[in-house]
Amino acid sequence: MDTAKFIDYIETLAPLDGQEAWDNSGWQVMTKRDIKRVFLTLDLTDTTLAEAKAFGADLILTHHPFFFSGVTSIGYDYKSKLIRELLASGIGLYASHTALDVAAGGVNDVLASYLELTDLEPLMMTDKDKPLGVVGTTDWSLLKLYHTLTTLSEDTVQLYGKLRDIHRVALLGGAGGGDIKAAFDAGADVYITSDVKHHDAQVAYELGFILIALSHNDSEKLILTELARRFEDDLGLNTKINAENAFVLRLPKRP
| Within a domain: 108 | yes
Q: Residues 91-122: pLDDT tens digits?
A: 999 999 999 999 999 999 999 999 999 999 99
Shared-domain flag, residues 55 and 113: no
Q: Is the pTM of this model over 0.85?
A: yes
Angle between helices 78-89 and 46-55 (to 10 degrees): 10
Q: Is the C-alpha dihedral spanning 20, 192, 121, 221 positive or negative?
A: positive
203, 218, 233 — which closes off a domain? 218
Shared-domain flag, residues 71 and 110: no
Mean pLDDT, rounded, for 134-157:
93
> For residue 66, what is the domain's CATH number?
3.40.1390.30
At 155 the pLDDT is: 75
| Within a domain: 237 | no
Shared-domain flag, residues 129 and 152: yes
Query: What's the number of domains the chain is made of?
Result: 2
Shared-domain flag, residues 119 and 81: no
Shared-domain flag, residues 123 and 173: yes
Shared-domain flag, residues 207 and 109: yes
Amino acid identity, position 177: G
Number of H helices, E strands in the chain: 10, 11
Shared-domain flag, residues 109 and 41: no
Q: Residues 11-61: pLDDT tens digits?
A: 999 999 999 999 999 999 999 999 999 999 999 999 999 999 999 999 999
Distances (CA, A) of 250 to 48, 194, 216: 16, 20, 17
Shared-domain flag, residues 66 and 120: no
